[in-house]
Amino acid sequence: MLKLVNRETDSRRDYEPDAPATQDELLGLVALGDQAAFGRLYDQIAPRVLGLITRLLRDRAQSEEVTQEVFLEIWQSATRYDPKKGGASSWIMTMAHRRAVDRVRASQASRDRDTKIGIRDYNPDYDNVSETVQVRIEHERVEKAMLRLTELQRQAVILAYYGGYSHSEVSEMLSVPIGTVKTRLRDGMIRLRDELGVAS
């Protein structure tokens, strides 16, 4: 149980420790700084408070920590309890629920912050500059190899492989038989493969 500093000792009520008292009465005594009443209130309602918080947090250690925070808040703010607005149990459980939700939000915010930092600080394994240079070199090699093709081969390759046209569409666009298109494409690709040094 929490170690408490006695407040307003002179105004504390004396009562028999085993005398029956409702939670409302105990909370009223806690508001006067009565540590014994606080102890009895803690014994009565702590299991319910812990149960509610554990259902929300699902982490025993954090739940126990938040439960202690709730009872510290009860001790510090018991004077603000107004029995006209509801029973002591409702007041305490509302406080417990609010603190548990705050902890869930804080934990989520912390995870979100860690994720953002992780993404920001992520360094891919490859060298982006090196990759860009490599792509540019390959592009230049292909352009040079394309210049080694005949005009008809180059047109067929550009339309079919870069333009995405079918053989029949290339045939129509170049006004040549489809068989000629296939021959130009085949010969053009063989020539490109040789120029680029790609194994067949």
The CATH number of 9-121, from 3.20.20.150, 1.10.1740.10, 3.90.190.20, 1.10.10.10, is 1.10.1740.10
pLDDT number for residue 7: 41
pLDDT number for residue 39: 95
- Cα gap 80→75, rounded to integer Å: 10
- Cα gap 174→150, rounded to integer Å: 14
Residues of the chain with CATH 1.10.1740.10: 9-121
pLDDT tens, the chain, 200 aa long:
444 444 444 444 444 555 558 999 999 999 999 999 999 999 999 999 999 999 988 889 999 999 999 999 999 999 999 888 889 999 999 999 999 988 888 888 777 777 777 776 665 555 566 667 777 777 777 778 778 888 878 888 877 776 777 888 878 777 889 898 888 888 888 887 887 776 55
SS3 content of the chain, % helix, strand, coil (to 5): 75, 0, 25
Fold of 128-196: Arc Repressor Mutant, subunit A (1.10.10)
Residues of the chain with CATH 1.10.10.10: 128-196
Single pTM value for the model: 0.49
